[in-house]
Chain A
């Protein structure tokens, strides 16, 4: 428990990093086409909750978006079916980018807490010296 605030901020850092990872996975697969008889790339959502066993935050799992995606008429595409359609994931890039900003800012805020907690603990270690 000695340096609690640092590990609490650490849980926030890793949660936001996992969120950033899943967002970048979603964005990198935004144009991943498959043939219409396969499932589209499923967008990943990170499920989090306040840590049940004390302060901090924890990732409790991943939820996946809809495998339906959207059908696009691209007859020249090598994966197109006989009607000329291919399946793309239905991911909203604007939403992903705004979540990316939230995740990045959340990560930076937690990094700031680590810095300030360190300054406090350093002050505490000076008690009784002089």
Chain B
């Protein structure tokens, strides 16, 4: 399978603070790749580097065969942790803004935005403002915005972190269905080990800052995923392995 995203010995810095060291992994076309690790290990920074928002000091980031030099919205779309919905814009206009920035002609924006909202089941709420929507509904609008640009690669930065366990699993499985239907490649940063195992094809476990790859784990669970799988021995073996990796030598430290 071809790689959509390649990170090759990437070193990211914030001023003098080293976020990652020699971070190397790839995301294959059409897969859902999770990145897990302690807070501050550089997993969100890695996403920003893929999206062209953070330039590596060393190493290189390649997306669809071309080195990343800045945001490429037609190929890569973000779903941010705090969603970054514009509070003064209705749901449909929040989706339209991505099309506006991408240079889509005015007349085409509304139908495309509505189609994206339909994909996530939010077309009924097109004219609602973010403050009028529940947390899960806002997630869907943000997802619709990420889908609207037709980018093949989606970067998820803990988008479900604010949801309760039940909604997060429920929404996660729905999102997975949409992404599979649209054949998207997803790089998914999460704090939740069970969420990572439940949704991913592969999982990159990172070491604490400066982050490097501790191990890349294949998730052999069949698709489509189902909540019952969370009770299977394979599921537990994988979460155990991740726990072992992430908490191996820092059991006394808070994550």
B and A form one assembly: no
B residues near A (Cβ < 8 Å) are none
